[in-house]
Amino acid sequence: MSFVRALVVLLAAGATLALTLGFSACIQLGPSNDDSTADAGIPTVQDQCSEVMAAYCSRANECYGEDVNACYPPAVQACCAEDCAKSATSEEKAVRACVMDMAKANCDDIVVAKLPDRCKNVVTHD
C-alpha cells in the first residue's frame, strides 16, 4: 500500500472517529421559538442533520478527497443519534447559515470535524 493511500485510509478512520465524537454538538435539546416551518411541514431532526452533514461531507470532499458516500451516513447518524425521527425545532435560517458557513470552513477544521460556530447546536428538538 502506498504512503498516500495509507494516509487517506488513516484520515478517513480519524474523520469517522471525529464525526462520532464531534457532531454530538449538532444537537441542542430544548424548544425553539421558530414558527417559520408551519406552512412547509415540520422537518425532522434527521432532515436538518442531513442538510448540515451534506454540507460537511461536501466540504470534506473538497478539502481532502473524502468520499461523500462514505462520509454522509455516519455523519447524519452521529448528528441526530436516537433523535432522528423527532420533530426539529430549529430555525431554518440558522440551518441555512450553518450550511453557508460550512461551504467556507477552513480545511484544517474540517479534517478534525470542528464545525463552524454557527453550526454548533444548530439542530434542536423538544
pTM of the shown model:
0.69
Phi, psi dihedrals of residue 26, rounded to the nearest 5°: -65, -30
The domains of the chain are located at 3-125
Cα-Cα-Cα-Cα torsion 118, 88, 41, 72, nearest 10 degrees, comes to 70
Question: In this predicted model, what pLDDT tens digit does every residue of 55-72 receive, in sequence order?
Answer: 999 999 999 999 999 999
Question: In this predicted model, what pLDDT tens digit does every residue of 83-112 receive, in sequence order?
Answer: 999 999 999 999 999 999 999 999 999 989
CA 53/CA 56 separation, integer angstroms: 5
Task: Map grid coordinates 464545525 to a residue.
Answer: 115
Question: In this predicted model, what pLDDT tens digit does every residue of 12-39 receive, in sequence order?
Answer: 444 444 444 455 445 544 444 444 444 5
